[in-house]
A and B are shown apart, each in its own frame.
Chain A
Amino acid sequence: MARSRVNEAGELMSANRNSQDADIQRTRNGAIMDFPTTETSLDIKGLTLAYDGKQALRDLTLRIPRHRVTAFIGPSGCGKSTLLRALNRLHDLNESVTRQGSIHLEGHDIHDPRVAVAELRRRVGMVFQAPNPFPMSIYDNVAFGLRLQGGLSKRRIDDVVEWALKSAALWDEVKGRLRASAWSLSGGQQQRLVIARTLAVEPEVLLLDEPASALDPISTLKIEELIGNLKPHLTLVLVTHNMQQAARVSDYTAFLHDGELVEYGSTDTLFTHPRLRRTENYITGRMVG
C-alpha cells in the first residue's frame, strides 16, 4: 500500500536504465526525461499555454530529435494537440491564447519578432486529423504551397508535384487524373494528398495530428508506412490516441497528462519499462483516455 502511494506521487520505478544512450533528468514538476542524444530539431523550454487564463500546458520542457519520429500520447484533453499546434504558431490565430516559455527550431527562437510566421509554417508543416484538401484539383492542391512562394516555372512545379505525390505514395493512384477534384478521392487518399501537399514545400518538420484517426485500417497502414519512409528526411512529430500506432512508428514517446509532461523517452523503454506508475497505467489501458 505504502509503496504504491509513493509510486503515484511520481517515484522513480527503476532509475538510470539505459543510461548509456540517454541523459536522464527530472524536471521541476517531477517529470522523467530521457533526453535523446541525437541532434535536436525542436527545443521546447518551460512552455506554458493558457486559453482565457485556463492553463492547457504547464511548464513543459522537451527536446525533439532531428530525423526521428516523436509521438505524443496521453488521454483526451491532456494538451498534446495544443503542444503540437504551438510548434508552428497556429495559436497565433486565437487571441485568447497566452504563452510563456520558448520554442527553438534549429537553435532559433520561433517567437522572435523577426521571424516571418508564414515562412516558419512552411518549414514546420502540419497534417490535421480530418483530411482537409482544398476545393481544387489534385494538382492545384499539391501546387498550392509552391505557388505561394512564387517565381517557379510551370515545368518546375510539375516536377515537384510529381515528386511530392510519389513521396506520399499517391502518384500511381492519381497520375491519370491530376485535374480531378481533390474531393473525389477517398479519405485515405485525401490524407496522403494532404501529406504530399505539405511535402511539396519541403518542410524540415512535419507535425501529424492524429493523421489516421478518421481512416480505415488499410489506409492507416499506408500512412504509417509513409511515416517510416519519410523519417530519414524529416523530423516527424505525431499525436496519436492509438498506443499500438505510437509503439509501431515512433522512436521517442512523450506521455502528457493534464497539460504536464509525465514521462519522455525512447519508445522501446517507455512501452516496455515505464518508469512511472502513471505511465504504466495509461499504456496498459488502466487509465481511461
Chain B
Amino acid sequence: MNIPGHTAVPPARSGRWRGGEGPWAWWCAMAVALSLLMLGALLVLLMSRGLANFWPASVHQLTLADGSQVIGVPVETRQRPEDAGSERRYFTANRDASGGIWRWVNVEDIRQDSAPEDLVHIKRMRWSDFLGRLVAVNIDGRRFDGELAWQRLEERLDEIRQQRQLRRELEATQIIPLIRRLESSNGPESNHDPGSNSDDVRIHQQLAELQQQARDLQSGMTGAVLILETAEGRRLEQPLEEVDTVLRPNAMSAWQKVGRWSSGVWQYLSEGPRAANTAGGVWPAIFGTVLMVILMSILVTPFGVLAAVYLNEVAHQGRLTRLVRIGVRNLAGVPSIVYGVFGLGVFVYGIGGQLDEWFFAETLPSPTFGTGGLLWASLTLALLTLPVVIVATEEGLARIPMHQREGALALGATHLEMLTRVVLPMAMPAMLTGVILAVARAAGEVAPLMLVGVAKLAPQVPLDGEFPWLHLERKFMHLGYHIYDAAFHSSDVQAALPLIYATALLLVLVILVLNLTAIFLRHYLRTRHGAFARQ
C-alpha cells in the first residue's frame, strides 16, 4: 500500500552483479587470481623444464626415407610455415663423430621409429654425450662382448668413480692447501731462492709426493676402453675414465628411471660444474649464494638496527631527522648496479687496496683483498639492503606503545635499559621482517656482484678446513650469475638450457628456504609471549 508522499523502498539492484557488491570486488579478485596464476605458471615452467632434464628419456632409432639411420632423443616438434608439414628436433649427441649434437628431421620422412633396448646413452666428461650402441669393452687388453661387457663395464665404472673421488679429495684437502702455503710464503716477486728456505724445501718434497700419488690414482683409472657404434655404423673408442654414466634408457624400468633421476638431481646439487658451466652440478654456486646472504645478514642487521634506533629513539625529531629519514627511504630505490660501482671503487680498490699494501705487501702486485671477493660482495649487498632493514625496524619501533616505554622508565630504568630490555625485544619481529626483505632482495641480486667478487668458475668453496676456515678474500660462485653465464656465455645455449631452468628453480628455492627460516624465527618470537595488541 502506498502512503501519499512516500515512495516505496527501491528494489535492490540485483541481477547484474550478484550480491550487489558491484564490479569492484570482482576486479580485485581477478587481479589477485592473475598474479597467482602468473606466479604459478612461472614455477610450473621452471619445474617442468628444469626437473625433466634429469629424467632418462627414451632414445629412438629412426629409419629415414633415404635409408639413413638416426639415433636421438626427440626434443621438440614444430610446424613449418605454409603447410609444409612438420619437423622434429632430435638430440643426437656425438659431437666427436658428427660435429653437431642436434638434428632436425622431417616428420614425413620417418619410415620407421623404434626404441630398441640396446641403445646406450653415455654421459662423458668431454665431447658432450654419446648415443648409439655398445659393441664391446676392452679392459686391460681383454675384450668382453654382450651382457658380460655390461657387467664388467659397471664394475669398472664403480672403481673409477671411487678413485676419482679419492683424487678429488687429495687435491682439495692436501695439494691445494700446500700450493697456497707456497704462494703465501714465497710470492712471485720475492727475490730469495726457493731452495734457501728449509721449510720450502720440505713443502716442495711433500708436494711432489702428493702429486705422484694423484698421478698414480689417475693412471689406475685408465686401461678400460669402450668400443661404441654410432647410428651410421662408425666405430668409436671411448676411454672409460672419461665416462660419467652409462645408461640403457629403453631397457630401464620406471623405478630404475626414478632412481637414476634422483641420483641425477643429487649429482646436480652436490657436484661442481663441467663443460664450461653447461653441464655438471652447481654445489659451489649454492654454497656461495647461501654463504654470501648469511654474511650479508650478519653485516646489515646490527648497522640497520642501530641506525633505526638512533633515528627513532635518540635523535631530536626535527627537520634534519626527517630529512635523513627521507634520504634513507630513497636509498632503497637506487639501482643496484650503482651500489656495485660504489663497492668496486670504495671497498675493492679503496679499502682492499690499502689492506693489501699494509698486510699483504709481499704478494703484490697480485692482489689479496684488492680484488673482488666474498667480503666485498657481502658488504656491497649489506649496503644495498641497509635502507630496507632501517625502514622495517623503524616501523616496528614506532608501533611499540608509549606506555610500554613509560612502564620501564617508571621502574627506574635508564633510557638505555628501557631500549635494550623492553623496546628492542619487542621490536625483534619487525627487525626480522627487515632482514627477511633484505635477504629476499640480496639473494636475487646479480648486477653488483659482477663488479665486486662473483666468479664464473670457483670450484673451491670459500669455507674449508684450512686456517682461517672462512676465506673472505676468495671469489665465489653465485646461482644468479651462473644462470647469466650459462645462458649468455656458453658455446651451446641449447645444451645448457635445461640446466639454466634447473638453476633458476634452485635459486627460487634457495631464496624461499632462506625466507622461510627467517619467517619461522619471527613466528617463534611473536608467539612466545603472544602478539601485543595493535594500537
Contact = CB atoms under 8 A, between A and B. Distances in A.
Interface of A: 88, 90, 93, 95, 118-119, 121-122, 125-126, 128-130, 132-136, 144-145, 148-149, 181-184, 194, 197-198, 201
Contacts of A130: 403
Contacts of B413: 118, 121, 144-145, 148
21 contacts: A90-B406, A90-B409, A90-B410, A118-B409, A118-B412, A118-B417, A121-B409, A121-B413, A128-B403, A128-B406, A132-B406, A132-B407, A134-B407, A134-B422, A135-B528, A148-B411, A148-B412, A148-B413, A181-B528, A198-B410, A201-B412
B411 A181 contact: no
A183 B529 contact: yes
Nearest to B406: A90
A206 to B, nearest CB: 10
Nearest to B412: A122
B403 A144 contact: no
B530 interface: yes
Contact of B417 (A119, A125, A148): A148
B410 A88 contact: yes
B404 interface: yes
B311 to A, nearest CB: 16
Contacts of A198: 410-411
B530 A184 contact: yes
B426 A201 contact: no
A149 B401 contact: no
A145 B411 contact: yes
A197 B411 contact: yes
Given A128-B406, A130-B403, A144-B421, A136 B529 contact: yes
A93 B407 CA distance: 13
A142 B235 CA distance: 87
B316 interface: yes
B358 to A, nearest CB: 42
B528 A144 contact: no
Contacts of B408: 134, 144
A182 B410 CA distance: 18
Contacts of B401: 132
B198 interface: no
A97 to B, nearest CB: 14
Contacts of B22: none
Contacts of B467: none
A119 B403 contact: no
A121 B407 contact: no
A201 B316 CA distance: 31
B17 interface: no
Interface in B412-467: 412-414, 417, 421-422, 425-426
Nearest to B526: A135
A93 to B, nearest CB: 7
B404 A134 contact: yes
Contacts of A201: 411-412
Nearest to A119: B412
A121 B405 CA distance: 13
A133 B401 CA distance: 12
B412 A149 contact: yes
B488 interface: no
B532 interface: yes
Given A181-B529, A183-B529, 18 more contacts: A90-B406, A90-B409, A118-B409, A118-B414, A119-B412, A121-B410, A121-B411, A125-B410, A128-B406, A128-B407, A132-B403, A133-B407, A134-B407, A135-B425, A135-B529, A144-B421, A198-B410, A201-B411
Contacts of B422: 134
Contacts of B316: 95
Nearest to B527: A181
A280 B404 CA distance: 37
A126 to B, nearest CB: 4
A198 B409 CA distance: 11
Interface in B376-418: 401, 403-414, 417
A119 B316 CA distance: 24
A197 B409 CA distance: 12
B420 to A, nearest CB: 11
Interface string B56-97: 000000000000000000000000000000000000000000
Contacts of A181: 528-530
A85 to B, nearest CB: 8
A5 to B, nearest CB: 43
A90 B492 CA distance: 72
Contacts of B405: 93
Contacts of A129: 403
Contacts of A128: 403, 406-407, 410
Nearest to A124: B410
